[in-house]
Structure 1
Amino acid sequence: MGKKRSRDVDQDVAMTDPTVEKKAGADEDDSSDEEDMDIVNVDFELFNYDSTIDFHGVKSLLRQLFDADSQLFDLSALSDLIVEQNTIGSTCKVDDKANDAYAFLTVLNLQEHRAKKPVVAQLIDYLCDRAKKSQGEEKETLATAVPELLAEGSKACVGLVLAERLLNMPAEVIPPMWRCMIDEIEAAVEDKEPYEFTHYLVVSRTYREVESSLDMGERKNKKARDEKGLQYFHPEDEEMRKHAVASGWYEYTKESESVADSKRAFQELGVKPAGFMMLIEADKFEKAVGAIAEYVGSAS
């Protein structure tokens, strides 16, 4: 690797989080048609990775990202790799750099690390297997393209994009993180570092609502569960997939039948998580990032 770079100034992203609105007039006239609202502004800051601080926060978010399949990987080794690559990607925090990350984003050169990092070899095998078993309108393309691009000896250079955030984080924090990463990749390429990708493979999560087995009783032999449409933990994924050459969702290999019930959260329908991946050509990646920035801005 070339010389290390650090941002001149850590990025400060100020925004209003609608989840922290507080009513000011609750003790006044409850019959009033209009109530004054106090809005708490939360400042989120983007930081370079720090190996002395960010290991545990990143590992926790990786466990959330890979869900039931997180036990298939050496998450400690993967976390180490991410935080040591401290000039590419960001953590998002509140108040102080020493706090755990509320969100993270990074990209890993799979071909560069596959021989020296066993966890990357594990990831490559896993992603190829899941792509072959993916579902969705573009599953045939995904099932063919991912194993070919990630095969040993392939001339393609695939960047694995890993991004996750706490569930109550506002989507507004995401576009600045992506834009920073694009700038950092461009700077790394100028410094002859191995980030000149031909494709980006974005790993994310999705879910479906399914009828809980707790309510099925004697009906379990009459008909299958009513599976609803695909939903996104990260709403911006729906916009980004429009720029992908292929995308698809896949079942977790370690998923058990009890998961939908354990994540039911007192609803009539259970939640069944699944993995989701998008394959984006490098020359379309910046446009995809611009599209999600526009989407998040229009949806807020």
Structure 2
Amino acid sequence: MSSKKKRVDEEMEVVGDDFEEDVNDDDDEEDEDYMGTQQNEEVQVEFEARMPEDSDFHGIRTLLQQLFLKANVDISEVANTIISQNYIGSVVKQSYIPEDDSDDDDMVDEDPVFGLTSVLNITDRKDLNCVGHIKTMLIEKCKCVAPEISQKFSQLINSPDYQLGLLLNERFINIPPQFKEMEKAKRKKMKYDFSHYLMICKTYRCKLMGGKQQKGGDAGEGQVFYTNPEEELIKEVSDFNFTYSVQSERDSIVDGKWNAEDQMEALRTVLIIPADKLPLAIQKIKSELGAT
């Protein structure tokens, strides 16, 4: 394979779905025991982080879909941009795909994308349609928070005096995030020497606890939970943040854990992180979550 590979070893416990199919009365007990064993089987899976390639387009787009939901953002253009700047990001895939003799092979992605880490320079790439869509969406969402937060955000995202990078950290399973490529790009004097990072995090809160979004840039301190736990550590070094609801965009879209949690309200929390503070957050992630 032509792409550069960076190894990430991870053990993943796979718990089978609940089987809801009717079982005939005359089925052997051995079959039932086998099914029960399969549901709690522990499988060791090896992953690796690779440079994004053209063949990863649909996998990357699916990951972006779970972040942006029904927002008016051209996620196809975002996916293509990520692939075009593959020196700055990585996708996480299974290292070895065992051969399967099933007749349904053609219907399954043989090399699925399990995770994505990248950064999009939304200052330098302001002419891209997708960047304009993202900026317009976030400015509109920020109007509902405290005026001082809204003013700070509007100044940061629109001013040419700042270099703002959209940090993307999406995945389907609990794989450590990869943030190494940004430092490499900076050393090569590429356009990734940011003053700030912007990060859109998938968050949620209990409907009975949350109520309406409170002023002050956050939807009730202590009541917002992060789907990706490392992003809560990144929040600790952020300058400011604000949260908005995406509950109305959930229908018919698979969005992380929320489909199974009817008591949770789906949110997005936007973090503004000074570039010089991100390394501290990454060290915390490595220390507290065991990321490598």
TM-score by length of 1: 0.71
How far did residue 130 of structure 1 move? 2.0
- Letter in structure 2 aligned against 1:60: T
1:145 paired with 2:118, answer: no
The 5-angstrom pairing of residues 58-207 of structure 1 reads 58-69=60-71, 72-95=72-95, 99-115=111-127, 117-134=128-145, 142-152=149-159, 154-166=160-172, 169-170=173-174, 173-175=175-177, 177-178=178-179, 180=180, 184-207=181-204
User: Structure 1 CA distance, aligned partners of 2:47 and 2:249?
Assistant: 36
How far did residue 144 of structure 1 move? 2.6
Residue 237 (structure 1) aligns with: 231
Residue 16 (structure 1) aligns with: 11
User: Structure 2 CA distance, aligned partners of 1:185 and 1:38?
Assistant: 38
Q: Which runs of 5+ in 2 are unaligned?
A: 17-29, 31-39, 98-109, 209-221
Q: How many residues are treated as equivalent by the alignment?
A: 240
Q: Which runs of 5+ in 1 are unaligned?
A: 1-5, 22-26, 28-36, 212-227
More helix by share: 1
Secondary structure in 2 aligned to 1:54?
Answer: helix
Does the C-alpha gap of structure 1 residues 290 and 162 become closer, same or farther in structure 2, counting only changes over 3 Å? same
State the Cα deviation string for residues 64-115 of structure 1 (Å, max 9, x = none).
011242xx11111111111111101110011359712111011011111112
Q: Please, what is the CA RMSD of the aligned residues?
A: 3.0
Secondary structure in 2 aligned to 1:11?
Answer: strand
Secondary structure in 2 aligned to 1:159?
Answer: strand
User: Structure 1 CA distance, aligned partners of 2:199 and 2:207?
Assistant: 26
Instruction: Give the conservation status (yes or no) of the 8 Å contact 1:201–1:280.
Output: yes
State the Cα deviation string for residues 30-81 of structure 1 (Å, max 9, x = none).
xxxxxxx974321111000112x11100111101011242xx1111111111
Secondary structure in 2 aligned to 1:197?
Answer: coil
How far did residue 188 of structure 1 move? 1.9
Does the C-alpha gap of structure 1 residues 149 and 280 become closer, same or farther in structure 2, counting only changes over 3 Å? same
TM-score by length of 2: 0.73
- Letter in structure 2 aligned against 1:273: A
Q: Which 4+ runs in 1 deviate beyond 4 A? A: 256-259
User: Structure 1 CA distance, aligned partners of 2:249 and 2:137?
Assistant: 18
How far did residue 17 of structure 1 move? 1.5
